[in-house]
Amino acid sequence: MDFIEFFGFVGAFFIGLIMGVLGGGGSILAVPILAYIFHFDEKIATAYSLCIVGSTGLIGGIKQASQKMVDWKVVFQFGLPAVVGITLVRAFLIPALPSNLFSIGDFIVTRRMAMFGLFAILMVFAAISMLKGKKDVEVDQKNNKLNPVLFIQGFLIGGLTGMVGAGGGFLIVPALMMVAKLDMKRASATSLVIIAINSLIGFFIGDALHIKIDWSFLSVFIGISMVGILVGTYINKFLPVQFLKRTFAIFIILMAIFMFIEEFIIQ
């Protein structure tokens, strides 16, 4: 293992740490680390990302559930359609995409460009959301009605995050706050459970049957990330979350710029 790969495994710890503190965002680090430090192709990088953030989110979600912070009604309404969306994309759409999608003159748009380009765009939107901060929303913990908007959002976000190998916490948390009327802490806790369900089902049904998995690598990476999320869920009550979110947002923007340059200019 060289120094660059060692740096990648250090990044695994921060993937878990960020998920523990913010309730998501792990895939924003996972995909670039897997693609540019460990040099996995777009299919492997996005598949491994789902397994990593899903397994890590499962540990964080269990801890949050034990503290009764998870809204299981919302998990059902948002999570089930998200599972359908992510499974359809990973099992059918991704395997059907050709390596070269289309060309504009002499410029060929590849599957890798499209997937990582879309991921970079989502990174920028996530960063903008973090920089703006969350407005106060009306919290309604006694609303037991089924919300069709949650079903629709779950399906769409599941499909979108399945395309780029993201857990989707940076999209799920704001949706739960605005539509399900959860406060930030409950939205983050519920998001971890949804991320775990979506990502692991998407990986095992959509990817594990189609690609060769390096389980020894994944096991080490996930183990380090799990340590990170346990630390993150413990210290998030003591940290200035808004400051951390804005610092992380700036880093995300820089990473998105790097990905865009790497895929569309240098290649």
DSSP 40-65: --HHHHHHHHHHHHHHHHHHHHHHHH
Per-residue pLDDT of the chain (267 residues; tens, 9 = 90+): 788 899 999 999 999 998 888 777 788 889 999 999 999 998 899 999 999 999 998 998 898 899 899 999 999 999 899 999 998 998 889 888 899 998 988 888 898 899 889 888 888 887 887 787 655 555 555 555 678 888 998 999 899 888 887 777 777 887 888 888 888 788 888 988 998 998 999 899 878 888 899 999 999 999 999 999 999 888 877 877 777 778 878 888 888 898 888 888 876
Q: How far is CA 252 from CA 115, 121, 163, 263, in A?
A: 17, 11, 19, 16
d(CA 177, CA 137): 7
Query: Quick one: pLDDT at residue 160?
Result: 86
Give the range of the structural domain holding residue 24, as residue numbers without chain letter: 3-266
Q: What is the pLDDT of residue 165?
A: 79
CB distance 11 to 33 below 8 Å = yes
Overall domain count for the chain: 1
CA atoms in the 13 A half-sphere facing the CB of 134? 24
- Per-residue model confidence (pLDDT) at position 135: 56
- Whole-number Å distance between alpha carbons of 161 and 216: 25
Find out whether 206 and 162 touch, Cβ atoms under 8 Å: yes
Tokens of 204: 């095992």
What span, in angstroms and rounded, lies between the C-alpha atoms of 139 and 120?
32
Q: What's the CA angle centered on 167, arms 158 and 252, to 5 degrees? A: 120
How far is Cα 188 from Cα 58, in angstroms, rounded to an integer?
Answer: 13
Q: What are phi and psi of 183, to 5 degrees?
A: -75, 170
Q: What is the DSSP letter of 110?
A: E
Q: Which tokens in the block code for residue 215? A: 């389980």
